[in-house]
Structure 1
Amino acid sequence: MIPEPIPEPRDAESEAQPLDAYSQAVSAVARELTPRVASLRVRQRGREGSGSAVTFTADGFLLTNAHVVGGARGGQAAFADGTTTSFNVVGTDPLSDLAVVRADGDTPGPVTLGDSDGLVVGQLVVAVGNPLGLAGSVTAGVVSALGRSLPTRSGNAVRVIEDVIQTDAALNPGNSGGALADSRGHVVGINTAVAGIGLGLAVPINSTSRRIIGALMRDGRVRRAFLGLVANPVPVPAALRERLGQRDALRVADVVPASPAARAGLRRGDLVLTAGGVPVSQAQSLQRLMFAEAIGRPLQITVLRNGAMVDVIAEPTELDAEHA
């Protein structure tokens, strides 16, 4: 009996099945961004902290979360290819939870910053981090909500991060400061927090955050006006839409005690329709007004309360350390 020939061994590449479109998109984003996302280590008050950061310029500027660097003045950055370099903190803005740091040594090429204003609920997004030096932590999911506000508290200090992106892309410890990208690999957000089981939040990259980033690079800080509202976008009641010519407004979820909003008489449950005579339909609409030029100037705010239109005058103050 003639023995059957031993089959030739097959390599893994010949056995590999073609990737489906979803997998192709996620793996392409991972290849593009993983080399450009650093692991950060910072030391302050005798304790070491960590997070991720995204290289966004060719000359070594990286974008991360303000809460990742805290009050540190510098630290160490490590990239997926084994490159390590020290960095200095250029500036932080706790209200947006954004910070800019600059590497002392060489860094990989920059990512492409996108525009979160073009995102839609249900869109594919990919979260890329570098937690604790474990390069290439990649998760994928969809945009589950837009325009959220994220209030955070530390002791008596109150911080409200406006217009965050909510996704179901799981975030691992150390992923804060990493990239949230669309299917083209354009970074549309900086991951900032875990909102609950299976939910993550990211600071959007849009015209407002670009303005913040520019101020941090130029001045090391952002001079901000403070109002003290936590609000989420909701539809305007159908009976009023045609009369107001406005489909969405902001529902007040919380008012910071003793803030300009509280002194003006704004209340939880108010529906904010306009600010400064301009319709507000998303958190960013209000956030765009809260820069240096608004400090100390009366701001008329029109709200719908218990079916009645109410005008109040708020006078934003300069954001201070207590509320940052």
Structure 2
Amino acid sequence: MTNPERPFPSGSPGQEQPPFGPPQANPFAAPTQAPNPFAAPSYGPAHGGQLYGAPVGAPAQALGDPWPGDGWGSPPPVATAPPAGPTAPGRKGLPLGWVVLLVVLALVAGSVGGVVSSRVLDDGRLAEAGLPVAVGAGAGDRAPDSVAGIAAAVLPSVVSIQVSGPNGTATGSGFVLRQDGYVLTNHHVVADATAAGATTVVLFGDGTEESATVVGQTADYDLAVLKVERTGLAPLALGDSDLAVVGDPVIAVGAPLGLEGTVTTGIVSALNRPVSAGGADSDTAFINAIQTDAAINPGNSGGPLVNAAGEVIGVNSAIAQPPGSFGGASGSIGLGFAIPSNQARRTAEQLIETGRATYPIIGVLLDQRYAGEGVQVATEMQGGSAPVTPRGPADAAGIREGDVILAIDGRPVTDPDELIVAIRAKTPGDTVVLRVRTGTDERDVRVVLDESSGS
């Protein structure tokens, strides 16, 4: 049994990119060797806690530091064995067959090159050597509504974020929320920014950087607002995520694997996808997520998901993790999840105004063991809490312990997380209609949502 106000995660476990590792000299520098971001990492107590993501039917993992494995900033070296076989004299360790092949290839390349050079020199002009010359629009001629045009407009407002603390460095993405220095990102990107001795730096697209402070953060929605002492920034417009439909084109922008300014494209592949993230030793975030097949990888966290008009409709937050891959690193498999912009707007406004955020509740405990149709209100006390909070919204609406909730606002629910994220997507004071079954009797019940204490 679980209290929706502090539920346990359900579904298969995912994994968090550990927030801290050994300090990096320059977390925004490009890797010096070709990395393998999908190599299995090594986890230990120093890598921090676990984060469990559980969209219904598939686990998810939050996106954080780009290099979760050993090394923290570069992938582990790969040992290779020398090739076997005879070697040519004077070419220690190189097989004779390879020497012959390389010589033949070099001769062929030299011969071809000689022919081409001869034609070019004899004719005097490259175009007459038979090579086509491109004729068309130049690099700057891109329609504003093209992917290139949208990217050009959005990129200057997307930032990379670095949090350095006593245990190491964590990185992620974010975007400008207001021109006077407010930046939005994920809570899990800056979860340790308030630790003693920690520093937070925001790197802008033009290469400049600023120190930042945390204005407010909430684990319940996995969102955080930062503030830098800079004005005249170009904020991104928050679109209406309720208008998004499956199949709409979208663009994800951020710093996956530490590669800032990365743009990927895809579509909205699903809506209202329930995603929960959290561990036994941490609060649980519930997201009524937008699902996308745009490539999203560790480091994209906090970056924007924009529509064809260049408006932010989501905050990239998690990726699915294939079953059985718990404990290993993973990247994009075409299943990414973003917090809808309407939720992000409400939460960001609360964080800026009060430094904390609240969420709506109905005041019931849900039985996680129930396997029938809908979700069932618990029948036993848990942690000193009653199955139905006395004088709470559900109690006032006539909902009793053991009742089964079949739908919310006409949308069927089959898992406790589905009901929780649907409620969390609302605002305290909103009215929802629950389809409730008591015994064999079904009825519609109007419930006015109450406000939690928040985080």
TM-score, structure 1 as length reference: 0.73
Partner of 1:214: 349
Residue-by-residue CA offset, 1:3-41 (whole Å, 9 max, x unaligned): 53423599997477999x999722222211122111101
Residues 212-291 of structure 1 aligned to structure 2 (within 5 Å): 212-226=347-361, 252=375, 258=382, 263=388, 265=401, 270-273=405-408, 286-287=423-424, 289=426, 291=428
The answer on whether the counterparts of 2:240 and 2:341 sit within 8 Å (CA) in structure 1 is yes
Structure 1 residues 105 and 95 mapped into 2: Cα distance closer, same or farther (>3 Å)?
same
Structure 2 residue aligned with 1:34, among 155, 161, 174? 155
- 3-state SS, counterpart of residue 125 of structure 1: strand
Letter of the 2:272 partner, please give it. G
Aligned-pair identity (%): 33
Letter of the 1:272 partner, please give it. A
Structure 2 residue aligned with 1:57, among 178, 189, 193? 178
Shift of 1:149: 1.7
Structure 2 residue aligned with 1:168, among 278, 286, 293? 293
Residues 1-324 of structure 1 aligned to structure 2 (within 5 Å): 3-8=122-127, 14=135, 25-44=146-165, 46-73=167-194, 75-105=200-230, 108-131=233-256, 134-196=259-321, 197-206=333-342, 208-226=343-361, 252=375, 258=382, 263=388, 265=401, 270-273=405-408, 286-287=423-424, 289=426, 291=428, 301-304=434-437, 308-309=441-442, 318-319=452-453
- 3-state SS, counterpart of residue 247 of structure 2: coil
The answer on whether the counterparts of 1:122 and 1:143 sit within 8 Å (CA) in structure 2 is yes
The answer on whether the counterparts of 2:225 and 2:348 sit within 8 Å (CA) in structure 1 is yes
Q: Distance in 1 between matches of 2:253 and 2:317?
A: 12
Q: Distance in 1 between matches of 2:187 and 2:349?
A: 15
Shift of 1:125: 0.6
Structure with larger Rg: 2
Structure 1 residues 262 and 199 mapped into 2: Cα distance closer, same or farther (>3 Å)?
farther
Structure 1 residues 128 and 12 mapped into 2: Cα distance closer, same or farther (>3 Å)?
farther
Q: Distance in 2 between matches of 1:12 and 1:105?
A: 47
Q: Distance in 2 between matches of 1:184 and 1:95?
A: 29
Letter of the 2:345 partner, please give it. R
The answer on whether the counterparts of 1:38 and 1:54 sit within 8 Å (CA) in structure 2 is yes
Letter of the 1:37 partner, please give it. V
- 3-state SS, counterpart of residue 123 of structure 2: coil
Q: Distance in 2 between matches of 1:79 and 1:254?
A: 48
- Runs of 5+ in structure 1 lacking a partner? 231-249
Superposed CA RMSD in Å reads: 4.2
Q: Distance in 1 between matches of 2:191 and 2:237?
A: 26
Q: Distance in 1 between matches of 2:288 and 2:365?
A: 12
- 3-state SS, counterpart of residue 175 of structure 1: coil
Structure 1 residues 107 and 99 mapped into 2: Cα distance closer, same or farther (>3 Å)?
farther
Letter of the 1:41 partner, please give it. Q
Shift of 1:320: 6.0
Residue-by-residue CA offset, 1:230-267 (whole Å, 9 max, x unaligned): 9xxxxxxxxxxxxxxxxxxx955999x94979546468
Structure 1 residues 13 and 69 mapped into 2: Cα distance closer, same or farther (>3 Å)?
farther
Shift of 1:55: 0.4
- 3-state SS, counterpart of residue 210 of structure 2: strand
Q: Distance in 1 between matches of 2:232 and 2:133?
A: 33
Structure 1 residues 8 and 125 mapped into 2: Cα distance closer, same or farther (>3 Å)?
same
Q: Distance in 2 between matches of 1:4 and 1:108?
A: 55
Give the length in aligned residue pairs: 289
Q: Which has the higher contact order (CA 8 A, sep 6+)?
A: 2
Q: Distance in 1 between matches of 2:437 and 2:232?
A: 51
The answer on whether the counterparts of 1:273 and 1:303 sit within 8 Å (CA) in structure 2 is no
Q: Distance in 1 between matches of 2:162 and 2:340?
A: 24
Q: Distance in 2 between matches of 1:179 and 1:304?
A: 40
The answer on whether the counterparts of 1:56 and 1:62 sit within 8 Å (CA) in structure 2 is yes
Q: Distance in 2 between matches of 1:315 and 1:115?
A: 22
The answer on whether the counterparts of 2:186 and 2:224 sit within 8 Å (CA) in structure 1 is yes
The answer on whether the counterparts of 1:301 and 1:314 sit within 8 Å (CA) in structure 2 is no
- 3-state SS, counterpart of residue 142 of structure 1: strand
TM-score, structure 2 as length reference: 0.53
Residue-by-residue CA offset, 1:150-190 (whole Å, 9 max, x unaligned): 11121244514232101111112111000100011111111
Q: Distance in 2 between matches of 1:24 and 1:97?
A: 31
Q: Distance in 2 between matches of 1:253 and 1:129?
A: 40
- 3-state SS, counterpart of residue 126 of structure 1: strand
Q: Distance in 1 between matches of 2:132 and 2:206?
A: 26
- 3-state SS, counterpart of residue 271 of structure 2: strand
